[in-house]
Amino acid sequence: MKTKQFTAESPNNPMLTQLSPIPNGVTIIGCSDASTAGEVRNTITQIAVKRADKLGLSMPNVEAVISLHSGNSRKVEQAKLLHGANPQPKSAVPHEFKIIGSRDSFDWCSNEGLSTLLPLIESAENKWLILEQQVVGQVSPILANGLNRISFAAKQFGVWVMVMAVCEHAVQKAPLLHLCEEYIEVTKCEPYPGFYTAFAFDCINIRDLNPFGFGNTMCSVKLTDGVLRREFEPFVSHKLLTRAIWSLRGQQKTVEEIAKLVGLNKSNVSRSLARLPPTRNVNIHPHWLDDYLESIQGNRQS
In contact, 36 and 188? CB cutoff 8 Å: yes
| pLDDT, average across residues 47-59 | 91
Rounded Cα–Cα distance for residues 238 and 209 (Å): 19
In the three-class reduction of DSSP (H, G, I as helix; E, B as strand; rest coil), residue 28 is classed as strand
Distant-in-sequence, close-in-space partners of 245: CB < 8 Å, separation ≥ 6 = 258, 262, 264, 269, 272, 273, 276
Q: Are strands 25-31 and 64-69 parallel, antiparallel or unpaired?
A: unpaired
In the three-class reduction of DSSP (H, G, I as helix; E, B as strand; rest coil), residue 178 is classed as coil
Structure confidence by residue, pLDDT tens digits, 100-148:
877 777 899 999 999 999 999 999 999 999 999 988 878 889 999 999 9
pLDDT over threshold 60, residue 269: yes
Q: Which domains does the chain have, with CATH numbers?
A: 23-234 (3.40.50.300), 240-301 (no CATH)
pLDDT at 15: 56
> Is the pTM above the cut of 0.75?
yes
In contact, 250 and 282? CB cutoff 8 Å: yes
For the chain, what is the largest distance between any 2 Cα atoms, rounded to a whole number of angstroms?
Answer: 63
Structure confidence by residue, pLDDT tens digits, 25-38:
999 999 988 889 99
Distant-in-sequence, close-in-space partners of 191: CB < 8 Å, separation ≥ 6 = 197, 198, 220, 221, 240
In contact, 183 and 205? CB cutoff 8 Å: yes
Q: Tell me, what amino acid is at 141?
A: P
pLDDT over threshold 70, residue 206: yes
Cα 151 to Cα 26, 83, 145, 233, 265: the distances in Å are 5, 27, 10, 31, 52
pLDDT over threshold 80, residue 292: no
| pLDDT, average across residues 175-193 | 92
In contact, 194 and 4? CB cutoff 8 Å: yes
Residue 66 C-alpha from the chain's centroid: 18
Mean pLDDT of the chain: 87
Which of the listed ranges 87-91, 100-104, 133-137, 217-221 does the model predict with the highest average pLDDT? 217-221
Q: Which of 185, 180, 221, 190 is nearest to 201 (CA)?
A: 185
pLDDT at 270: 94
